[in-house]
Amino acid sequence: MTDQTRRSYDLVADRYAEELGDELRHKPLDRALLDAFAEFVQGGTVADIGCGPGQVAAHLATRGLQVVGLDLSTSMCDAVRRRTSLPACAADMTALPVRAEGLAGLVCLYATIHLDDGRRAVAYREFARVLRPGAPALLSFHVSDADFPAGGVKTLDTWWDHDVALDFRFLDPDTEISALRTAGFALVARLDRGPHAGVEHPSERCSLLLRRTAIGQP
């Protein structure tokens, strides 16, 4: 499944960057969340996991953060380097090439939706491993749309005239919060929102601002 996801995003990377590379310009709530996240960062490197063509990483860099992009797709990483001055490298979020407690923060927007329950749990443990105690994390995901409830899985086999194999999961916020607490996170804030009409897929969405707890802390 990982290889299929990587191949699929490699195929659509250029079109994805063209269509979605400036999407934050139309998403005031997402920008506000990223700005709030930036204020919690206490110096050091921040990772944008599942960075795509780098629009989120670039926004965080304008807020004075030292950012690196990580993405399963090497073509997406190439797009980051072409479009920004930021570093980017290929990485699997379930086995991050980052030392323990090496990051001052991380964001992961709409990328864990490609993982099943077991692999998301592994990814959440990896997120906790690479973050300093007390460091912030920001996660966003789809919750539901007109065709799929929370817990549903949409499979895409064609995207922008390319043959792909991608599963998009709609996640229940309470379930994800519980899994993240188990992995070592405390919830700081939660934002549920509807879609920005005409700008993005018409799904209900959730964003979680989290804090990496210290060992032994609730």
Cβ–Cβ under 8 Å, residues 136 and 107: no
Type of residue numbered 105: G
Structural domain contains residue 100: yes
Query: The domain that contains 169 carries what CATH number?
Result: 3.40.50.150
What's the first-to-final CA gap in the chain, in angstroms? 34
Q: What is the pLDDT tens value at each position of the chain, 218 positions in all?
A: 799 999 999 999 999 999 988 899 999 999 999 999 999 999 999 999 999 999 999 999 999 999 999 999 999 999 999 999 999 999 999 999 999 999 999 999 999 999 999 999 999 999 999 999 999 999 999 999 999 999 999 999 999 999 999 999 999 999 999 999 999 999 999 999 999 888 889 999 999 999 999 754 55
Does residue 218 lie in a domain region? Answer: no
Length of the chain, in residues:
218
Which residue range is the domain that position 191 belongs to?
2-212
User: Using CA atoms, how far apart are residues 173 and 46, in angstroms rounded to an integer?
Assistant: 24
Sign of the C-alpha dihedral computed for residues 88, 93, 95 and 101 taken in this order: positive
Record the tokens describing residue 139, joined without a space.
């996660």
Kindly report whether the global pTM for this prediction surpasses the value 0.85.
yes
For residue 101, tell me if it sits in a domain. yes
Determine the longest span between alpha carbons in the chain, in angstroms: 50
Residue 39 lies in a domain: yes
Is-contact 199 23, C-beta < 8 A? yes
Q: How many CB atoms sit inside 10 A of residue 174's CB?
A: 11
| Residue 38 belongs to some domain of the structure | yes
Residue 217 lies in a domain: no
Contacts of 32 (CB under 8 A, 6+ apart): none
What tokens appear for 73 in the block?
A: 């797709």
Domain count for the chain, please give it: 1
